[in-house]
Each structure stands twice: as structure tokens, then as C-alpha cells.
Amino acid sequence: MAFGFAQAFRTLGTLALAGAIGAGLAVGDVGAEQKTPSPGSAKALFGGAGLPTQGPAQPIGFYAKGCMAGAVALPTDGPTWQAMRLSRNRRWGNPAMIALLERFSQDAVRYAGWPGILVGDIAQPRGGPMLNGHSSHQIGLDADIWFSPMPARRMTAQEREDLPFTSMLQKDKFLTVNPKVWTESRARLLMLAASYPEVERIFVNPAIKKKMCDTWGGDRTNLGKLRPIYGHDSHFHIRIKCPPGAAGCTPQAPVPAGDGCDKSLAYWFTPAPWAPPKPPKPGAKPPKPPREMMVTDLPNACAAVLDAASVASMQAATYGGPSAASALAATPAAASADDTDGALPDVGPVPNDKPAIQ
Ligand SMILES: [Zn+2]
């Protein structure tokens, strides 16, 4: 691809606009504010579920179209992590995801020179599409980790609501990591996360992927797990594989072989992914607005998940508690998975829906 930055800027109009696109989507998963979901929509129903179902843990369906049973919560605090934005009630996940986060947080301190992790959204108590923000995070196998380090003290609940995101990108340059905030420890943190066999993908901003391609001098075997996508410049997103025996979980295609420092990355440095949608031809019918997702659009088992009995309390289903232990030990039951589309990860607010990369 022969597009240089200069050409990209010309195409986009102004340098300021380019900067806004690269960095201004910093909120990534968080900032997509759409209209309030209609009562009865999948977003409204799953977003309204306050507690997970009892019984064994089951991811049902696909990352971007599904739900989950038997979720457990990441404790709000551990020696090496703090959960953020507690009011969102998105600390819920498959026990395999929660166990990985705890282990990763410990390894981050031990091996990456990182003081501990700040954990953003995992999933709603019963998964499903979220009231706002993500398009994935629906089956308890996705989690967002901040690029900001854990402070040395326990933050109050209010501080966890208010702490601003810090973008790793330069504001006035197109898709460029800011050398004032990017550190080697963040690079190690990403490669540590990618090192776990159950981690299949890690979504990062294209500028961060490029930085890793250009500078990572260690073993590059797992570099291909780092997938470039919009947003994801103040946090990264860990996606794990369907856990063994999770019959109702729809796997995603494996990442292509290689380190991904190739034309799939170069694409993001062309104007194409950032171009506004083409104006409709004069006289053309206006495109239909996208239809709201209903529970009937999800795998059949998700209706039963909504109706199933809750655990007794949040504490009862917090990882490490008695319910969590039984969920870990239980064999996941089969559930229907009748859908395989929706391949995009959570992308937050995007200028258009063109790239179907991943
Ligand atoms: Zn995410």
C-alpha cells in the first residue's frame, strides 16, 4: 500500500481530524452511546439482569452474539488487581476467564515489572449484549485491561468511576504511539497476556500493534495474537478460547499464522478504515437503520438463561467463594449454538462498519 501519512491526512481533510480519529476513539469499548434500548430488547433484558444464574458455567453462542450461565465475579480487589467502574456491574465472567485474570495480574507483577492491573469490563451477570459500549463481551470470555498501572493504594469506589482513561497515542499525529506514555513494561504486559495458551486474541489499537512490531525484540511467536482494531488505545482486550468441554460455545477462527506485522496491519495506515461512509446516490432509498437485537436473535438457550433462578447474592458468586468453586468443578452442559456470525470484536464508536478484520 502506497498511502503515506501525508496522503492519508489530505484524504481525511485535516491533520486535526486524523488525530481525533486515531486518538479520539480512545474510549474504545466505552464510548458508544446509542439510543436507549427498547424495553424487551436483548440489551434491555440482559442489561437488567442483576445476578448470574445458578449452576454450571456455560458460555453460550459467540463472543458478539450470545450469553452465559453460571458466571462468577472477579473480586473488586486482589493483591495484584483492582476492578474499575464498579457501578457498571460488569465484573462477571466464565470461571476460566476470572482465573486467568487473577493469574495474569500476579504474573504481571512478577514478570512484566507492572505494579498490578486495573480491570475494566468483563461481562454482565448473564452476559448478552450490553446496554452500551461493546459489541462483544457477551459470553464471559472477553476482558478489558487498562494500560494505566494499578496505584499503590486501594482506590475508593468513586475514584474507580472517575479515573480518566489515558490514551497511549499522540493527539496531534495520525496513529502514533506517544513516547511520553508508552513504556517497555506495557509491551511486556501485552506479550505476557499473549503467552497464555488459552488466550486467542488481544485487541489493541493499530498504532500499538505497529509499535510492538517495530520494537519487540523478544520471542515473536505470540505477536500474531495482537490484533489491530479501532479504539483500544487506553485499554487492551483479552479474548480467551472456548474452554474445553464448553459445547455451547462457538469458537472463532484461529488467528492467521505469523506475527501480523504485514499488510493486515498496513491497511490501518491507509485512509480506507477511517473514511466516512459514502453519501447515498441521489434518489437512492435511505438505508434501513440496523434492527435492534432481540433475545430471539441469540442462541435459543439464552431465553432460558434470562428466566433461570439467580444465585443468592453477589458474594455467593464471587470467584473463590463456594459457588465459584462448584462452577469451576462442574462439567459444562451442552447448549445450543445456532449462530456464527458477528465476527467483529467490540469496536466502540467507529466511523463506519467497513472492516471485518479478525
Ligand atoms: Zn473489550
β-pair type (77-78, 81-83): antiparallel
Name the DSSP letter for residue 78: E
The domain locations on the chain are 23-257+295-329
Cα distance between residue 183 and residue 169, in whole Å: 12
What are 289-323's pLDDT values in tens digits? 888 999 999 999 999 999 999 999 999 999 985 44
- In the reported structure, the alpha carbon of residue 272 is separated from the centroid of ligand 1 by a whole-number distance in angstroms of 23
The span from the first CA to the last CA of the chain, in angstroms, equals 19
CB neighbour burial string for 174-199, b if at least 16 within 10 angstroms, e if fewer: bbbbbeeebeeebbbbbbbbbebebb
Q: What is the chain's percent helix, strand, coil content, to nearest 5?
A: 30, 15, 55
Q: Which residue is it, cell 497464555? A: 196
Q: What is the pLDDT of residue 285?
A: 86
- In the reported structure, the alpha carbon of residue 87 is separated from the centroid of ligand 1 by a whole-number distance in angstroms of 17
The answer, yes or no, to whether residue 117 has pLDDT greater than 90, is yes
Grid cell digits, residue 300: 435459543
- In the reported structure, the alpha carbon of residue 345 is separated from the centroid of ligand 1 by a whole-number distance in angstroms of 7
Cα distance between residue 71 and residue 297, in whole Å: 21
- In the reported structure, the alpha carbon of residue 260 is separated from the centroid of ligand 1 by a whole-number distance in angstroms of 20
Among 43, 130, 42, which residue's Cα sits nearest to residue 85?
130
pLDDT band at 31 (very low <50, low <70, confident <90, very high): very low
What are 141-154's pLDDT values in tens digits? 999 999 999 999 99
- In the reported structure, the alpha carbon of residue 111 is separated from the centroid of ligand 1 by a whole-number distance in angstroms of 24
Between 264 and 357, the more confident residue is 264
Q: Kindly report the CATH number that applies to the domain delimited by 23-257+295-329.
A: 3.30.1380.10
Cα distance between residue 201 and residue 129, in whole Å: 20
What are 197-221's pLDDT values in tens digits? 999 999 999 999 999 999 999 999 9
- In the reported structure, the alpha carbon of residue 137 is separated from the centroid of ligand 1 by a whole-number distance in angstroms of 7
